[in-house]
Each structure stands twice: as structure tokens, then as C-alpha cells.
Amino acid sequence: MDAKVDEMSKAYQELVAAAQAILEARRQPGGENTAAMDAAREAFKQRRKLFAVACDDADALVQSARQSIVSDPGRFVDVVTTPDEDSVRSPTRSSAESSSSSGFGALPDEVLRHILLRLPSAAAAARTSLISRRWRNLWSTLLPKLRFPGVTDLARVGAALRLRVAPVRLLRIESSDRAPDKIVAVLHLAAPLLEGKLCFDVITPAAAAAGAAGTGGAIQIPCFEKATEITIRLRGRLGIQLPPSGVFAKLTALSLSHCRFDDQGQRDLGDAVSSEGCPSLRELRIRDADVVSNLAIRSDSLRLVQLSRLEGIRQLTISAPALTELDLYACLLWGMPMVDIFAPALETLHWVDFFSSSSVRFDEKPNVHRLSVYGMVYGRRNTPGSLQLVQHFTEARDVHLSLVYPSIMDMSCELLVQAVKKLPAVEILSLRLLTIGHTFGPCVYHLLKMSTGIRELKLKLEDHIADGEVPCSSGCVCYEPQAWKKNNISLNFLQKVEINNLSGAERQIYFVKRLLRWTMPELKTITLSFDPSVTVSEKVSRKLLSFSTPGICMGIYLHRNGTRVKYSAAN
């Protein structure tokens, strides 16, 4: 191995000398256009090739060392499971040391580091301690990232962390061990070591998670004073207690999910993630959790807040003057909670949740540019949704609407989107339509006639019908009103259209025909993509092409043998 390192070092020095020769030749009279310069360049090319060969040879040796460590577990004892120092002084270890005296044990420090970095887990890195005395605990000093995938007993992770003497830049743990005392022990051992990112994922089978939801002791999270990012997922909604004191001074991103926040005592969730507890926090994500009834987040540093499927909220307060993006999903559907938001710098708002102007207040209306909301297309008045927000933020230029058709519709259902009388000055309009077999023409027509200034239109259709459901007939309420079939719209600025997940149904084909009539002559491109599960006939493809004109570039994309391909007419 030493010979390989010497060879690589020599090749590098010769490469540097060749580069210096080029610089010297350039300083001579004539500069670039001399025989000396040509010779220097040719010499540099040769030295570069030789250096590359030396590097490849050294890399091959490193890979061989790595493979030996990973693929020969019988040779290397797992020190994570070794109870004490005496037990590792075994014949197995002595044999390994003697056999490696002329091999792995003689590797230079830099090569050792490269080998350790390429090992798949911390357990594999720990096994290198059995190669020789020189390797002993090298993994705990040279390895900046520790990965523990597929852990069944967290006690082993705790044993490994006790051996650690150097800071950890990344700690990634994936475990099926749900014992709260072991989780707490690992977190408390990791807290003083971590100076980077923590990813802790407790994996639990679905059945076990359902049976264990809301049970077990609470997990007390210590204060990670030097951590920069923390992600904790506790399947089965294990309880969490945040530290009653301490500051996460360097934490910039926090993600907590699949848990419940038990009685917090001195400091609740809102206090812990606010400026006093996390002064540098920029990104906060909380998902699938049971939270306190009054959640108040006050932060001067937050830029992003994502709250998804939180249960128990009765009052939500967010005061974040630097916040630029807020995502709220299924947190306000029960109990009519009061919401108070102060985020004057907000630019992006995803509100897939209940909205009522009587219970939701923006203390200072921000200048939102990108807006995502959802609503039911048909139903009865006062059906929950957030479509009203499109009339609240009039400056939004990029608007995304998720529109859902009810599975059961009768003649008492109304076209609820007609309650929206005005859209912002939209330039990009994206519509996700969960039609369940219903026609979407009246809905889209109503929205487009209020969006005559749009430049880009995106439609994503989800037309799937569950087993046992019958597609609607021509007498269904979804066909009313029929003004979209008769009246025209002047979409004079629309230049690009994308329609995805087409099924080839006649109502969809007819809509494309009407849309092209509304958009001419400014439309430049239209892309039509069929659902991967659909077999599209030549007749349907040709019919769509016949709607286009020479000034429009139409692309039709089908799926054949699992591959997305562009349709090309036979003739």
C-alpha cells in the first residue's frame, strides 16, 4: 500500500512540475506560439494521464479494503456488541492484527479516512477496530458521519455513541425499537456530540403502530445546543416532552412527525420553537401529531412553516415577521379553531384546509405571489374549503387550485365554484381536478372566464372511478350549466397549456377542442399526456392533432411498455 501511495505522490509532483513548465514557457519571448510551449503542453498531457492512472490504482485498493471489511463479518467482531475491553482481546482479534500488519494496518491516515467514509454504516466502521491496534477506535475519531440503518436494539447504538470522542456532523438512525427508555438514552448521548444533522426514524409496522398509538412513556428530548438540523419521526405517535430549559442555539431546521406532545410543564411546543428556544430556526415542519389546544409560534427567524394533519388545535397563532412560506394542511377541519397570523413578508401560501373569514385573521395582509387552495366543485352551501382565499389575496400571480368532485351528487348540489366572483391577476393557473368520472367543462370554463390574462395553464386530471362506481350519465348535474359549450372566451395572452392524465373520454376530447378555440391565435404550445394505464387508439390521437393549427406546437404523449413516448402519426 505504501508503494501505491508513493507512486501517486510522485505522479502528482510530476504533474505540478509540468504545469510550472507551461507557465515558464509562456513567459519566454513568443509566448503561446513556440516549440517550447508545444513541448510543455504535451508533457503536461502525459503527466496528467499518469496521475489519473495512479489515482485509479489507489482507488481500486481502497475499494478492495472496503469490500473486505463489509463482506467478511466473520473476520471482524462487531465491537458495538462487545461488553468490555478484555473481551475484544481474543484469538480472532490477534489473528486479524497479525494478518493485517502488512496490509490494512499499514495504510496511511488519509487512505484510512477514505475507507471509513465509504463504509455503509457505523457498525461496519466499528468492525475496523479489530483489524489492528492502530485501527482501534479510528472510526470514532475520523468518521464525521454515523449511520445506523435497520437497528433492532437501540442499546447497540448507545454503546457505539459512548465510544465516540469526536464531534458528529451527521447522525442517522433507522430503528424498529420503540422502547422509550432506549430512545431517550440514545438522544441524550447524541446531544453533546452532534454538531450537524440528526435524522431519527422509528419504523413500526402499520398494525403495531395502530395498536400502540397514544401508549407508552413520553420521550424527553434533550437540548441539542450545537445541532443545525433535527428530524424525528416516531411512528405510532409516541409521546414527546421538550426540554424545559436550554437553547437550540444553532438549529436552523426542525421536523417532528408521527408523535404526540404530552403535558410539557414549563415550556410547550410553541415556546420551544419560538425565538427564545430556537433563535436561529428558519424551517419548522410538524406533521401527523397531537398538539396542544393553543399553539402559539412567535419567531423572528422563521422563513418556512409547514403544519400538516395536526389534531387538537383550538387556537393557532403565528407571529413571524420574516416568514416567506406557510403550508397548512388538514389542521383546522374540526372545531372551528381561531387562527391569527402575522406574516407581512409572506410570499407563498399553501392553504389546503378549512377557511372562514370569521375565524381566520391576517393581522397585516401580506403580498402573496404564489397561492394554493382547495375546495369542493359541487355541494351545498357552507361546504368547508378555502376557495375564498383567492379573493382575499388579489396580488397572487401563480395560483394552484385543488378541486374535488363529491362521490355522490344529486340535483340539489350547486356548482360551488360559482361563488368565486373574481380571481387575482393570475399569470399561471394550475388546476388539479379530482373528477371521479364527472365532466369538468363547466367548472374550468367559469374559472377561465375570470382569468383572461393568464399566460400558462396546467390541468392535472384524476378521473379514476373506484370498483362498483358507475360513471355519471348525460343527466348528471355536472353537465350544468352548459354555457361552456356555446360561449367563447378570449384568452389572448395564453401561450402554454399542459393537460396531464387524460383518459381519452369523449368529454375530455371535446374540452380540448373548445380550449383551442378560446386560445387562438396566441397559443404557442400545448402538451397532452395520457394516463399510463390508458391504451390510446390511433383514432383518438389523430382527432386531437386535427384540432391544432400550423402556429401551434402540439405534443401528445402516450405510455407504451412502461415508457412515455411522443405520438407520431403513421403518415
The answer, yes or no, to whether residue 497 has pLDDT greater than 90, is: yes
- Looking at the DSSP bridge assignments, the partners of residue 147 are 172
Q: What percent of the chain has pLDDT over 70?
A: 77
Residue 226, CB half-sphere, CA atoms under 13 Å: how many?
A: 11
Domain boundaries, the chain: 144-207+215-292, 368-467+474-570
**pLDDT value at position 469?**
56
Q: Tens of pLDDT along 316-327?
A: 999 999 999 999
**Dihedral in degrees, nearest 10, Cα atoms 242, 248, 251, 253:** 20
Query: Which residues contact residue 570 at a Cβ distance below 8 angstroms, ignoring those fewer than 6 apart?
Result: 538
Residue 109 CB burial class (10 angstroms; 0-12, 13-18, ≥19) = exposed
Question: pLDDT: is 551 or 69 the higher one?
Answer: 551
**Whole-structure pTM value:** 0.74
**DSSP secondary structure code for residue 381 in this structure:** T
473 touches 438 (CB < 8 A): no
pLDDT at 206: 46
Nearest to 275 by CA among 251, 293, 239: 251
pLDDT at position 470 over 80: no
Structure confidence at residue 429 (pLDDT): 95
101 or 49: which leads in pLDDT: 49
Lowest mean pLDDT among 118-127, 388-397, 530-539: 118-127
pLDDT band at 68 (very low <50, low <70, confident <90, very high): low
Say what the pLDDT of residue 110 is.
60
CA atoms within 13 A on the CB side of 371: 26
For residue 86, give every residue at least 6 positions away whose Cβ sits within 8 Å of its Cβ, in sequence order, or none: none
Torsions phi, psi for 422 (to 5 deg): -155, 135
List the helix and strand counts (H, then E) for the chain.
14, 24
pLDDT-above-90 percentage for the chain: 33
Strand partners, 351: 328, 373
At residue 372, the pLDDT reads 95
Distance (Å, whole) CA 332 – CA 340: 13
Rounded to an integer, the average pLDDT of 79-105 is 41
Q: pLDDT tens digits, residue range 169-215?
A: 999 999 998 888 999 999 999 999 999 999 999 986 544 444 444 44
Range with the poorest average pLDDT among 91-105, 164-178, 512-526: 91-105
Decide the pairing of beta strands 378-379 and 414-415.
antiparallel
Q: Give per-residue pLDDT as tens, 243-265.
A: 888 899 999 999 999 988 866 56
Name, in order, each residue with C-beta under 8 angstroms of 165's C-beta and a sequence gap of 6 or more: 137, 140, 141
> How far apart, in whole angstroms, are the C-alpha atoms of residue 95 and residue 72?
14
Strands (E), 181-293: 194-202, 219-220, 229-241, 253-261, 283-290
pLDDT at 265: 60
Q: What average pLDDT does range 533-554 have in this prediction?
A: 88
| H or E, element range at 117 | helix 109-118
- Residue 101 region by backbone torsions, left for phi larger than 0, else alpha for psi between -120 and 50, else beta: alpha
pLDDT at 569 over 80: no
Q: What average pLDDT does this structure show over 433-444?
A: 88
